[in-house]
Amino acid sequence: MKITVLLTALLSASLAFAGPPAPKATGIEGEGYVWNAQEGEKIEALQLEGDVTRGEEAYEICGACHLPSGAGRPDGTFPQLAGQHTTVLIKQMADIRAGLRDNPTMYPFAVTLVDPQELADVSAYIESLCIPTDHGKYEGADVSIQIAKGREMYEKDCMECHGKNGEGDKEKFYPVIAGQHYKYLLRQMTEIRDGHRRNANPDMVKVIKPYNDDQLVAISAYQASLKMPGSMCSAKK
């Protein structure tokens, strides 16, 4: 049954690739766009109770890239999703579907979710997954120095929103970053700083706009070292 669902979803995604490109709605700096507007399918999905069992089936297509565990890829091509807040997941998927976030790789898969209920279901399932303890970390020779530098910046500029342990804030749509891959963190923060992540929180844009590349490396190295108590998977024996 699961194999049939996955093959059907992959076929649908292939057809989506052959169809029209993702829409391109006005981004964060455009007139009329509000970072977290209270309208559209996002709001409808947020008001629904997600079903973890149905969400597991809907996640089949996601697991091809993000892995069945939700661990993503250590090289940063696909982020760790496991344990992420449903609010964050719903917003990001809805923004991709609406053309507010540019992600041509994700778009054909995101549009296979048929309605707000399915958005809620798959998000509930992903949030239920424990965060893997093994993920991509900064591996430079100066790792301890970079982490120390990053910690200082994180505690000054990031901890208020993302929390002491990278747990984020579900009610405010601030994502979990504990357990996230270093290379993915670095890529996303670089895109936000440089204005390429069009659905970014404008407050975060202001915070990291002054950061140079070396500072982004350091703060990404520290963030990737964080572990969230109670939500991480049990360490492998």
Query: Averaged over 202-213, what is the pLDDT?
Result: 96
Predicted local confidence at residue 1, as pLDDT: 44
Residues 213 and 168: their CA atoms lie apart, in Å, by 24
Supply the pTM of this predicted model. Answer: 0.89
Among positive and negative, which fits the CA dihedral 13, 14, 19, 23? positive
What is the dotted CATH code of the domain comprising 2-128?
A: 1.10.760.10
Phi-psi region of 131 (alpha: psi -120 to 50; beta: other; left: phi over 0): beta
Residues 214 and 224: their CA atoms lie apart, in Å, by 15
Query: Comparing C-alpha atoms, which of 135, 129, 133 is closest to residue 56?
Result: 129
Predicted local confidence at residue 9, as pLDDT: 42
| Residue limits of CATH 1.10.760.10 in the chain | 2-128, 143-223
Determine the topology of domain 143-223 in CATH: Cytochrome Bc1 Complex; Chain D, domain 2 (1.10.760)
Name the helix (H) or strand (E) containing 152.
helix 143-157
- Three-state DSSP at 169 gives strand
Among positive and negative, which fits the CA dihedral 51, 56, 59, 65? positive
Residues 222 and 237: their CA atoms lie apart, in Å, by 25
Predicted local confidence at residue 21, as pLDDT: 66
- Three-state DSSP at 131 gives strand
Predicted local confidence at residue 237, as pLDDT: 61
Are 217 and 138 in contact by the 8 Å Cβ rule? The answer is yes
More confident residue, 123 or 8: 123
